[in-house]
Amino acid sequence: MYHDGSCLVDFSLFDVLPREKAEWCLAEIQQTLADNCLRIVEYTLAGGEVGVIDENAGPAGELWFEGRIKPMHTLVDGERAVLWLASNISQRHHLEARLRQLSETDELTGLCNRRRFMQILGQQLTDYVPETADIALLIVDIDHFKPINDQYGHLDGDLIIKTLTAVCAAELDTNALFARLGGEEFAIVLTDTTPGAALRIAERLRQAVAASRFELECATVVPVTISIGASVVRPYRRRINELLRDADIALYEAKSQGRNRVVMARDPDPASRRA
């Protein structure tokens, strides 16, 4: 306990808290009284936000609290009141955030992993409105990666993957969703783009990788190229498995045509289009 709270007696929420936070607390109290049952909320609070205490009396920075708000059965000064019990849950919150990050992030590259990528892409497709947005998917695969891994080892293979991640990230807009699907395969989702613009971005990525220097721990420089399969969402073709399958087929074509190239998926046969 950082202090006993005696200095807060006779002050209102608006006397000791920033207005926005005081209004939030008041709304939670009113909701608890309206529901007439225990409510549990989580919120942040820093010493500097409480106007009448010494902000240096407790830990520095923003802390996370769990508030258990319970309506009291007796009136206080003739009015209904609540008991608000606050517990510091900062350690638990940071641990949960770390576990969530680990479950959603590729450890080697720091990119979204396949699980998180599928979640985000699925939501983007759910929200897709043909009249206002365009979505393109790029599946990126490192050419001849297995021989490099076999010859130089997995540590150097990891180095190539990390270098390629940095090269591609430097060429992408911050709004692009960049993920590692596994092994040497990556995925990029581009929003608010046209098929032509998506192809130009893919070609820029291909050229940037081909022009980059991939130096291994032994100082050997190896040539690295990528093949890219691209697909775009259509009003009649907007399921996640369709988008992925189309991009995979285009990637296979890029590989079969000699690698180090970009191929856009063909528009499906009009007869297969859904209304």
The edge-to-edge listing of strands for the beta sheet with 135-142 is 177-182, 185-191, 135-142, 226-232, 262-264
Distance, in Å, from the CA atom of 186 to the CA atom of 142, rounded to the nearest integer, reads 9
Q: At what angle do helices 114-126 and 240-256 cross, to 10 degrees?
A: 120
Q: Name the 3-class secondary structure at 61.
A: coil
Distance, in Å, from the CA atom of 264 to the CA atom of 262, rounded to the nearest integer, reads 7
DSSP H stretches of helix in the chain: 13-16, 19-35, 90-104, 114-126, 145-152, 154-171, 195-211, 240-256
Distance from the Cα of residue 173 to its chain's centroid: 15
Catalytic residue among 184, 215, 217, 253: 184
Distance from the Cα of residue 75 to its chain's centroid: 47
Paired tokens of 221: 């420089």
Paired tokens of 267: 């528009």
Residue 5: Cβ-neighbour burial (10 angstroms; 0-12, 13-18, 19+): exposed
Q: Which residues contact 145 (CB under 8 A, 6 or more apart)?
A: 157, 160, 183, 184
Query: Would strands 226-232 and 39-46 be described as parallel, antiparallel, or unpaired?
Result: unpaired
Examine the residue annotation and report whether 49 is marked as an active-site residue of this protein. Answer: no
Distance, in Å, from the CA atom of 148 to the CA atom of 90, rounded to the nearest integer, reads 45
Our CA angle for 159, 160, 164, nearest 5°, is: 120
Active-site annotation, residues: 184
